[in-house]
Amino acid sequence: PSSKPSSEGMPPTGGVRLAAFDGGIPSLEGFDEGAWWVQDAAASIPAKLFGDLSGKRTADLCAAPGGKTAQLILAGGAVTALDQSESRLRRLRSNLDRLGLKAETIAADLTTFEPAERFDAILLDAPCSSTGTTRRHPDVLWTKGPEDIARLAALQERLLRHALTLLQPGGTLVFSNCSLDPVEGEEVVARVLSDTDAVERVPIGAGDWPGLEAAITPLGEFRTLPTMLKMPDGIGSGLDGFYAAVLRRVA
């Protein structure tokens, strides 16, 4: 573009939000060089909950299109990116190539996936109703009903229970999705924790997330809402609705 669009940093997530600009995303400075990628502020939170991943064997399950995979790599993890769709993995590889990043990629059904070695850290950003994306996709509130949410919650629970078996004792799993409905978030995690002594919740500290303190629930989980994250005039406020919980395998 002939001039740079105005921008504002977002300390809670480390991202940068731009004002309106002319031209497409690929026309912006640094795109071709792989200096950055596009990701909603809320979607960037789950990977940040791990902190430093240096030396850790890390899995991004349901990984495509790869924004969170890139975050895990930059955090130092030796990352395996898993997705059941080979075509979606091709998009992930293309995105990582542009960014100059590398990950092992595996096309597989998570419910039957068995790695040769368990992981130290796992991100499971599970399929969901996507009702948290209503800022950008308002139609989702009309296209998803209670039966869809119940079906997806059952799938999420299956995926979460299996993903926990892929974790080393002492390892950390972050479970997340972009649904606004507790049926797909809080209730799934509560059921899993209620019938196993091998896993515990690791509370998230509100003090670690200035500007998003209101998103930390009394149990120490993340629950962002589209009305959160106020930005200065000229820069759009808000973020996707997202849920995230940190779990540790203790046995």
- Which residues are catalytic, by number? 178
Strand-strand pairing, 78-83 and 167-177: unpaired
Q: Residue 212: which residues within 8 A CB-CB, separation 6 or more?
A: 12, 224, 228, 229
Please give the helix or strand (H or E) that residue 251 lies within, else none. Answer: none
Cis? peptide before 138, omega within 30° of 0: no
Q: Give DSSP secondary structure letters for 9-78.
A: EETTTTEEEE---SS-GGGSTTTTTTS-----TGGGHHHHTT---TT-EEEEET-TT-HHHHHHHHTT-E
Of 32, 43, 50, the residue nearest 100 (C-alpha): 32
Q: How far is the C-alpha of 95 from the C-alpha of 245, rounded, in Å?
A: 27
Token couple for 72: 């895990």
Bridge partners, 242 (sequence order): 224
For the chain, how many residues are written? 251
**SS3 labels along 165-231:** HCEEEEEEEEEEECCCCHHHCHHHHHHHHHCCCCEEECCCCHHHCCCCHHHECCCCCEEECCCCCCC
What is the rounded distance in angstroms from the CA atom of residue 84 to the CA atom of residue 97? 20
